[in-house]
A = this chain, B = another copy of it.
């Protein structure tokens, strides 16, 4: 679930793969498809070249909890499984027809060993990602659900075009009913 809007483009990947003399695998997923399931090992860092992805996990009651959204040009993986030997708990679902570029662990290591620019780009990506998570915790701890909703709407309007309200409410950490109540209140 790493992601970056600004550091790595499809062209970067293309150039790097040529430099190192290999091709990245690609994969496509239909709207609604869960193309990587929890308990399955996550072998790749995914670059979303087209489409929109939701990452979710199941809580103890079996409820789907959205953990992340990823739009085009962003990168995602399950760090628990890709970087560590832990069991993956994340499900990767395409919210619309999606095209992915797959970077394996070996390829990532080659990239960061051999291409200084790639190394720096991935480092930036990690830092960016950690900053977003930090901010999200701060937001949960100090801002109301209503305010968090408004902020998400303003900062990531795309999510509201692609995702169901149930996806968004679990991302915000509230029930769908609460989100509905908040929306109603704000209209009037």
Q: Is A142 an interface residue (CB 8 A)?
A: yes
* Cβ-neighbour of A130 out of B2, B67, B123 (below 8 A): B2
Query: B112 and A123: CB pair below 8 A?
Result: yes
* Cβ-neighbour of A119 out of B67, B112, B133 (below 8 A): B112
- Measured between beta carbons, the chain B residues less than 8 angstroms from A133 are 130, 133-134, 137
- Measured between beta carbons, the chain B residues less than 8 angstroms from A140 are 137, 140, 173
Count chain A residues whose beta carbon lies closer than 8 angstroms to a beta carbon of B: 33
- Measured between beta carbons, the chain B residues less than 8 angstroms from A170 are 141
Interface residues of A, dominant DSSP: helix
- Measured between beta carbons, the chain B residues less than 8 angstroms from A60 are 142
Inter-chain CA distance A60–B129, complex, in Å, is: 24
Query: A57 and B138: CB pair below 8 A?
Result: yes
The A35-64 residues at the B interface (CB cut-off 8 A) are 57, 59-60
Contact indicator per residue, chain A 109-141, by CB within 8 Å of chain B (1) or not (0): 000110010010011101101110110111011
Query: A130 and B126: CB pair below 8 A?
Result: yes
Inter-chain CA distance A141–B140, complex, in Å, is: 9
Query: A129 and B130: CB pair below 8 A?
Result: yes
Q: Is A65 an interface residue (CB 8 A)?
A: yes
Query: A131 and B57: CB pair below 8 A?
Result: no
* Cβ-neighbour of A67 out of B84, B116, B137 (below 8 A): B137
Report A's interface with B, CB cutoff 8 A. Answer: 1-2, 57, 59-60, 65, 67, 79-80, 83-84, 112-113, 116, 119, 122-124, 126-127, 129-131, 133-134, 136-138, 140-142, 170, 173
Q: Which 10 A-B residue pairs are closest in the complex by CB-CB distance?
A: A133-B133, A126-B126, A59-B142, A141-B173, A130-B130, A83-B127, A79-B131, A129-B130, A79-B127, A140-B140
